[in-house]
Amino acid sequence: MRKITFAQATLEAMAEEMIRDENIFVMGEDIVRQGGIFGQFKGLSDEFGDRIMDTPISETAIIGASVGAAMAGMRPVADMHFADFMGVAMDELFNQMAKIRYMFGGQTTVPMVVRAPDGLSLSAAAQHSQSIEAWFMNIPGLKVVAPSNPAEAKGLLKSALRDDNPVIYFENKILYREKGEVPEGEFLVPIGKANVVREGTDITIISYSIGMKKAYEVADKLEKEGIHAEVIDLRTLVPYDNETILDSVKKTHRLAIIHEAVKQGGAGGEIAAFVAENAIEYLDAPIMRFGAPFVPVPFSPPLEKAYRLDSDKITKEIIEKF
């Protein structure tokens, strides 16, 4: 199978879906002039013309206009440039986009996708490096996805573009340049279904997005110590696949959750609480959560390195629990 980058996979998904559905259009900053800050929209304006639109620097306008267009029957894609800037448009995101279908009793839908580049890069500092997915896990009315590789980037984006509910699509900035095998043509990854990417018997490791890189590293290190980890890629944070999680924990009797986002109040806390409520009798050890420290992301390269997850430290802490 051919290998392409994460960014190319999203570009392919967009082109295929825009050909399939003429109601899909894109709004964002510098997506025509620059092709998107990470190249994820490069060339789309040449193919689709006015359906790819540059906007003023106003997240409020981008989300607000997208909500209105979605209610009128279009299927907008709103690009946020950086996920950090979503805070500017929070009223439109959680009071309008997420609530309108419910408040109108299902008489109208809001079929739109918010693309949100997130995560650490290199010295992008506190306002351009955040992982904020946990904010949106607390807002009823939204779906939230976070692909970890190019194939899932394509499949999840295509599914999001076909969904009749608002979907927030978190795409990690470092992953944009990662290459992987991606099927050509029609390829969908279902929203709400996790993927058991590695079978194991001794501990369940759950992650998503770029956190999966650490999950694989930790699983490899544990294997050398005779501990066989089962690794689950959540893929979707809302709704998350509770059945796959419970089945795995009931088999392995241990659970570790890894994410690049801040540990305090993170997605790992929700997963841990769910397992504690529904499968605590199967656990042979405390649930372990691994995330970033509760400080803003540093600009300084040495401090940023210290801020990042360390697979050796995670492995050591897991082994100590056996």
Residues marked as catalytic: 128
Contact partners, residue 150, CB within 8 Å, separation at least 6:
3, 4, 5, 6, 8, 9, 178, 179, 180, 181, 182
Q: Of 266, 78, 95, whose CA–CA distance to 168 is shortest?
A: 78
Give the Cβ contact number of residue 220 at 10 Å: 13
Q: Of 222, 152, 150, 140, whose CA–CA distance to 194 is shortest?
A: 152
Which sign, positive or negative, has the C-alpha torsion 269, 273, 275, 276? positive
Please tell me the distance from the alpha carbon of residue 90 to that of residue 95, in angstroms, as a whole number. Answer: 8
Please tell me the distance from the alpha carbon of residue 226 to that of residue 209, in angstroms, as a whole number. Answer: 27
Instruction: List the beta bridge partners of residue 24.
Output: 75
Beta pairing, strands 3-5 & 179-181: antiparallel
